Amino acid sequence: MEYTIAPLSPHTAAEVRGVDLRRTIEEATRAHLNRAFIEHSVLAFRDQHLTPHQLLAAVGLFGEIFPQHNSRFALPDCPLVHYISNQDFYPDGRRYIPGEGFHTDHSNAACPPKATILHAVSLPDRGGDTQYVNMHLAYEGLPEETKQRIAGLKAVHVYQSRHSARKLMELSEEGRGRVPDGIVHPIVRTHPESRRKAIYINPIRTEGVVGMPEAEALALLADLLEHATQPKYQYRHQWRPGDLVMWDNRSLLHKANGDYDMNQLRYLYRVMLQGDVPV
Ligand SMILES: [Fe+2]
């Protein structure tokens, strides 16, 4: 299989061409793709056309499936694959745009997913980009005194932070019993494979900082977010039909953009991969 891996920006994301994820991938290629994933944090496989079951089989190249928290979005005939759609509504009738606002996925888990994978099924003609923030670069760009201030700090992650601007879709009764809440993670984590440090915060789910008064904690988290989301640390992915995009939740924040014609269907398959305890 002839394939290429080419950077999509100077610091984050690469596109993979010439790999057909429906086919058997050789071990050397699998290892190469995994290394590229760690190096670039986002891999965009172009021109894929996978059914949900083919998607599940393909992502086994990169890890084990992480069972998602809100079963509402599971595909009935392939429940380990979920969907992302712009055709869902809150109970009060407002449209639900999944993933708006910078966040990292499922950080309220003791072992949050290392990766999230989206495969485009239907896209609007324009808009709906996914933005990423490289939290390794953001960490490295902090003033030394801030690095020292946040070293050793831990944040509390819950399903839905009281302080979040975005409201998630409510969990079912069954989901509330199953989904972890009040999990503590370091604010600076070290990537288990690259050993690079990254800021690990999540505006949707971070409730506070352990041992720090609320006002001070919120100010610190806001400052870190403002620093991290500077354009120089960002990569913005413009989706193309057939894209399968996998990103590293240990290294990035991401957000969706609801900036397109909502009469056009935007629909993607979503799976996540098991991660480690952040340290
Ligand atoms: Fe997300």
Residue 173 binned pLDDT confidence (cut-offs 50, 70, 90): low
Cα angle at 110 between 248 and 221, to 5 degrees? 70
Which whole-number Å values give the CA distances from 44 to 66, 118, 198, in the listed order? 20, 10, 22
Q: What is the pLDDT, as a whole number, of residue 191?
A: 98
Ligand 1 centroid, distance to 140 Cα (angstroms): 24
Closest CA to 122 of 165, 86, 88: 86
Over residues 54-65, the pLDDT tens digits come to 999 999 999 999
Mean pLDDT of 206-216: 92
| Residue 168 pLDDT > 70 | no
Mean pLDDT of 114-137: 97
Q: Is 182 helix (H, G, I), strand (E, B) or coil?
A: coil
Ligand 1 centroid, distance to 249 Cα (angstroms): 9
Residue 179 binned pLDDT confidence (cut-offs 50, 70, 90): low
**Dist. CA 177–CA 197, nearest whole Å:** 33
Which residues face 236 on adjacent strands?
131
Ligand 1 centroid, distance to 115 Cα (angstroms): 10
Q: Kindly state the percentage of the chain with pLDDT values over 70.
A: 94
Question: Cβ-count burial of 173 within 10 angstroms (0-12 exposed, 13-18 middle, 19+ buried)?
Answer: exposed
Ligand 1 centroid, distance to 252 Cα (angstroms): 11
Is the separation of the CB atoms in 106 and 262 below 8 Å?
no
Ligand 1 centroid, distance to 101 Cα (angstroms): 9
Ligand 1 centroid, distance to 145 Cα (angstroms): 31
Over residues 80-90, the pLDDT tens digits come to 999 999 998 88
Residue 240 binned pLDDT confidence (cut-offs 50, 70, 90): very high
pTM (2 d.p.): 0.93
Ligand 1 centroid, distance to 104 Cα (angstroms): 6
| Residue 194 pLDDT > 90 | yes
Closest CA to 57 of 277, 269, 267, 276: 269
Q: What is the pLDDT, as a whole number, of residue 202?
A: 94
